[in-house]
Amino acid sequence: MPEQEIKHYHGNDGSDDSSDDEDMADASIKSIKDELALNPSNYDKHLELIKICKESGELDELRTARENFAAIFPLTEKLWIEWIADETSLTETEEEHEKLVELYETAVGDYLCPDLWLNYCQYALRWLGAEGGLGKFRALCERAITQVGLHPEKGAPIWEIYRETETALDGEDKKERVTKILRRQVALPLYDNEVAFKELKQIDSELWKKVKCDYDAAKIKLKEIDEFEAKLRLTDNPSELGEIWKEYLKYEIKKSDPVRIEFAYDRATTQLCLNPALWLEFLAWAKKIKSPNLRKISVRAARNCSWDENLWLERLSLTDEDPMKVFDDAVEALEGVGIERLQGLLWQLVLIYRRRATQNDDDMEDSLSNISDDAKNAFRTAVKKAIQISLSLSASDLVQEFETFAAEVEMVFFDELPRGRSKFEKLLKSNFGQDGKNWVRFAELEQFHGDLQLVRKIYKKGIMFSKVNCYDIFMKALHFERMYGTQEDLESTVSSIAKKQEENIRKEQKEAAEKEKAQKRAEKQSKKIGKKEFKAMAFVKQIDESQGNSDDAACIEPERKKHKKNPKQNGDSGASVSPQKMETDSSESMNPPAGDFKAPMPMAPPMGLPVAFGSKKPVQPKKRPPPIQKTDNNKKPSKNEEKEELDPNQPKFKHAETTEEKERTVYVSNMDYKLKNPEKELKKIFVGCGEIEEFRMVKNGVLFRGYGYVLFKEKKGHDNALLRDRTKINGRPCFVSKFSEPGDSKNKKDFKFNDGKEDHRVFVKHPKPLSIDEIRQVFEKCGTIIDTRLPETREGRRKPFFYVEFATALEATKANLMLHQKEVFGHVIEVLVSDPPKRGKQASDEPKIIDISKTAYATPRSKFNLVPRNIKSSAQAATKKATSVPSKPAPEPVSEEKSDSGEKSQKPKKAGLSNADFAKLFS
């Protein structure tokens, strides 16, 4: 056994601790590897694995971890510099140097990295002594100047190393080479450019005078962009950076310099690499100018925002690689999304293989006849894959569309009539065959490529089996027979159509009869319910309509009849009642006066209520004293107050306790209630934002409530997550906002877009949801389009309007004049200069103006006199008349009033009116 192992075994040199540390590091590496095997897109775990491997000194593990990381995600400039520095220290042989150069080339392709380019140029100085090394070095410096030479702060060092190297080299053309570099440099808006300008003056004063105008123009340009550069230096907040870069890009687009615009977009996407909208804007601009870097931009966009299907669609349409491989990568990155987000990718895959199969030559006929079997099989494989994915997502309508399209391609382009016919026949046997338009589609294809007898059979079957859009197939079948058929064929077709029409009429009549029968049944049921009589309840006082004509009787409440009670029932055994009196009482109760309603029977005393001896009245129970009003001291605390008293340290709001924790928490909402695992979906949209500490989803039992909270380990993760606002989950936009406690108006989210008149933006109303390409196609003739906003509902559906922002107000006005009330894509379009209403705080601060024209008779509601004057006068007359009728003294206090004859009469202060008398006052 070696000496080192013997010492470790006996523990003489204290190496047990280091061995334990190594075991712990190995265990941590293995654990993180297992996690990454299950979830390779965990950005934070990759960083943690690299850190542990570097600390433990496992160089092979470190290199493998970095390679796996770079294969999935683009690495930042800092990570690349650390990796290259580690590899440079271990590089000795030429083969290893070649691998280091490959590593440099991979690194500069991810982001715009000025420091990395500077390190690359410094490393390339070792090429100068080799054969052809000078040419390689100059080519590399030119590439570096093209990539980062326009950077106002970090571009000057690249120019300096290029210039100093050329100065150190001897040759006859030395002065020419150096002055050429200096002339190019001083014409650019770079900081610390005065040194190069002075050096040019020392080398060639005549040339210095010529380029002074270019130098002054560059200084003016530098002053214009200095405001944006100063703001960029002062903040790292993604939301603030987004606003700054938006203004910066508008400025560059107005100047119309394509090189500077592309460089500005490169810088913006480097700092805001997780913003899909910015990448889409960059791609749209690159398409417009047909940039040679368009494919590279699409690859970088998809790598940075792998959760966005629109970026994958752009990459798939622009790729020069194997489309199936790119599509598989997209499906893997978009795992778990709905068919709405994958539908565009599926169609793009199928169309790519269709175009590749049919655009071999310029001559269409020759190209169709020369389509290889490999191209046909590749198209069929793409269709098969699209159908499989559609079936797995239960999109049966999309499956039929792909199968129909495949059948048409087989018949039109591949000249495979039997294969196309079999596909169509299989489809038409399903629900697909109930639509007459599908039969017409099949018949027209067969008519163009096949036999007329087969076309006639297709029309006959279509007339027989179609249930929807029958008129279309009727007209097409008649037109076909008039063109190609005999008289017998035409008569047979007319007869078939007539039979089908009669069948449809009978079917409609049957449906109408069933509907009418159902309506009659419902009316009969409602009449039964209406005829049902309900007896009046015993304790409701009934009014005699025959005596209701008297105004005096209406004013006086009818006297309730007093019924003698049986003394035996009341327990009064000592009292005696005469038989005549009992007979009178019974006759009065059994035979009421004619015209009166039956008077209610007197209610018996409550069960168990005692009756006093020798009295007819039951003993009334003693009244309980009123409850004692509890003061605040005696008030019983509520359950929440009891919890606070028991545990004063418990937080009032459970989703974030401390202020620091609230700053790391985002609120996610508007998610689908049917999500079974919302944490998994949120992990996908927050990939690359930062390490997530905890998910706090709000649920009712096991049912998800559609919102929740996500706690990040760092504040930077919280800021990056806010950029993922409105990222779609299963076709529905997920809202991501800052944490705020319920009822906190301080953090209340206001309207995120500007309100008030916007001269440079137009509001466009169109019933059809247009794509961004279609919008640009319509509005580009009016001016330079800066931005396009497509509003959506909370469910993710497009609204029937959108906004287009132009570079100037004049261009927006031009769009209004040229396109308003014009027909675009089959519909009349409305184009108006944007003037949205005030929202939020601004709307509440504005004075409210009441439009009285919208109220009845153009009079505000508060000025209505709801009691007419004739009702008041009639009520007073009825009251005076009622006071002249003698009546028993009422319990209310009375007042004396002199009549016209001078006599005093008593009048109650409050005289009541019945509903019937009140109604008569209107007559």
CB burial of residue 330 (10 Å; 0-12, 13-18, 19+): buried
For residue 562, pLDDT beyond 50: no
The correct answer on CATH 3.30.70.330 for the domain covering 658-738 is yes
Would you say domain 3-248 falls under CATH 1.25.40.10? yes
- What is the tens place of the pLDDT at every residue in 891-911? 444 444 444 444 444 444 455
pLDDT digits (tens, 9 = 90+) for 733-789: 899 999 887 666 554 554 455 666 788 889 999 888 888 888 888 898 888 888 888
Answer whether 658-738 and 761-846 agree in fold: yes
- Count how many residues are written for the chain: 923
Ordered by start, the domain boundaries in the chain are 3-248, 314-467, 658-738, 761-846
The answer on pLDDT for 579 being more than 80 is: no
Please name the residue that has the structure tokens 């319910």. Answer: 529
Q: Which residues of 444-475 are buried (b: 16+ CB within 10 A; e: fewer)?
A: ebbbeebeeeebbebbbbbbeebeeebebbbe
Distance CA 741, CA 653 (A): 7
Say which CATH class 761-846 falls into: alpha beta
- What SS3 class is residue 706? strand
- Could you report the per-residue pLDDT of 152-181, keeping only the tens digit for each? 999 999 999 999 998 888 888 888 889 999
Q: Is residue 188 over pLDDT 90?
A: yes
Query: CB of 693 within 8 A of CB of 711?
Result: yes
pLDDT of 21-76, one tens digit each? 677 878 888 888 888 888 888 888 899 999 998 888 888 888 999 999 998 889 99
**pLDDT > 70 in the chain, percent:** 73
Order the strands of the 785-789 sheet from edge to edge.
Answer: 785-789, 801-806, 761-765, 827-833, 822-824
How far is residue 95's CA from residue 662's CA, in Å, rounded to a whole number?
52
Q: For residue range 354-393, what is the model confidence (pLDDT) as tens digits?
A: 888 887 544 445 555 578 888 889 999 999 999 999 888 8
> How far is the C-alpha of 698 from the C-alpha of 204, rounded, in Å?
74
Q: What is the pLDDT of residues 79-125, one digit of tens each?
A: 999 999 999 988 888 899 999 999 999 999 889 999 999 999 999 99
3-class secondary-structure state, position 601: coil
Give CA–CA dist 784/250, Å, rounded: 10
pTM across the whole model: 0.56
Widest CA span in the chain: 156
Q: Is the torsion defined by CA of 788, 818, 286, 183 positive or negative?
A: negative
Of 264, 266, 237, 239, give the one whose Cα is nearest residue 249.
264
